[in-house]
């Protein structure tokens, strides 16, 4: 186990993507699901797999405090470590913890210029330079201009950006199969996943982004551990 890195197998790489990044730098990804199905757990796993590779991850929460987000990470990391036969779990976690920073922002005060200012402060003071940004709790349907500005910020700072998108049971998808919450903005995302509960499991569907769908393996989320499994 090298400094700031551990060896974890990312099951998302089996879904027809070119690299472990899944979402390339300067691009945006989304995970869509109904409330309580596992969106936050999914983006936390995306973050952990990035952290394990030595990538810097900024987790921005618009509706939860730092201690709750930190608890999410530990509860998700422990079964991932067990699944990958990682010994000395606490030491492994501490070795990659420096690759993550949690930032909480009030939704009513959130703006792209304000976020850019906060990021610039972190980078200029050599505190943290994120390569992956998770934005959890961003409201959808969303203003296209705001999302375009967020994508431009990601391109400017060479970051990929992940969003959680809450869908609703009673709403039919659009003609292209995309959730109605992404109407008019789906083109801004390079990768879109959807979690769909079905009997005793939760299916993980790739709505957009896989480059090799013919050889892609199916995946699901275990409703007990909330882990992505191929």
pTM above 0.75, yes or no: yes
11-229 homologous superfamily: P-loop containing nucleotide triphosphate hydrolases (3.40.50.300)
112 contacts 149 by C-beta, under 8 angstroms: yes
pLDDT at 218: 66
The domain limits of the chain are: 11-229
134 contacts 59 by C-beta, under 8 angstroms: yes
76 contacts 41 by C-beta, under 8 angstroms: yes
CA count, 13 A, side-chain hemisphere, 148? 6
pLDDT in tens, the chain (230 residues): 456 889 898 888 878 777 788 999 999 999 999 998 899 999 999 999 999 999 999 999 998 899 999 999 999 999 999 999 998 889 999 999 999 999 998 888 789 999 999 999 999 999 999 999 999 999 999 999 999 999 999 999 999 999 999 999 888 999 888 999 999 999 999 999 999 988 888 999 999 987 655 445 568 888 888 888 86
pLDDT at 1: 45
Q: What is the dihedral of CA 41, 4, 132, 124, to 10 degrees?
A: 140
What count of other Cβ atoms lies within 10 Å of the Cβ of residue 72?
A: 21
pLDDT at 87: 84
Which run of H or of E encompasses 192? strand 191-198
Residue 103 DSSP symbol: E
């Amino acid at each position: 186990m090298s400094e700031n890195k551990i060896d974890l197998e990312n099951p998302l790489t089996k879904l027809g993507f070119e690299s472990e990044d899944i979402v390339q730098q300067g691009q945006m990804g989304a995970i869509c699901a109904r409330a309580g199905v596992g969106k936050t757990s999914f983006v936390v796993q995306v973050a952990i797999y990035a952290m394990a590779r030595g990538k810097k991850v900024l987790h921005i929460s618009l509706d939860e405090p730092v201690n709750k987000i930190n608890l999410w990470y530990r509860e998700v990391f422990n079964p991932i470590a067990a699944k990958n036969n990682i010994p000395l779990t606490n030491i492994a976690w501490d070795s990659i913890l420096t690759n993550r920073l949690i930032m909480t922002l009030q939704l009513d005060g959130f703006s792209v210029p304000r976020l850019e200012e906060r990021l610039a402060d972190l980078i200029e003071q050599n505190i943290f330079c994120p390569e992956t940004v998770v934005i959890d709790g961003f409201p959808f349907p969303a203003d296209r201009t705001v999302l375009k500005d967020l994508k431009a910020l990601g391109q400017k700072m060479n970051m990929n950006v992940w969003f959680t998108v809450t869908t609703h049971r009673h709403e039919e998808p659009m003609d292209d199969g995309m959730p109605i919450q992404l109407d008019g903005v789906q083109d801004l995302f390079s990768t879109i996943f959807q979690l769909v509960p079905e009997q005793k499991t939760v299916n993980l569907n790739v709505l957009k982004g896989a480059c090799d769908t013919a050889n892609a393996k199916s995946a699901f989320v275990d409703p007990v551990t909330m882990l992505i499994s191929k």
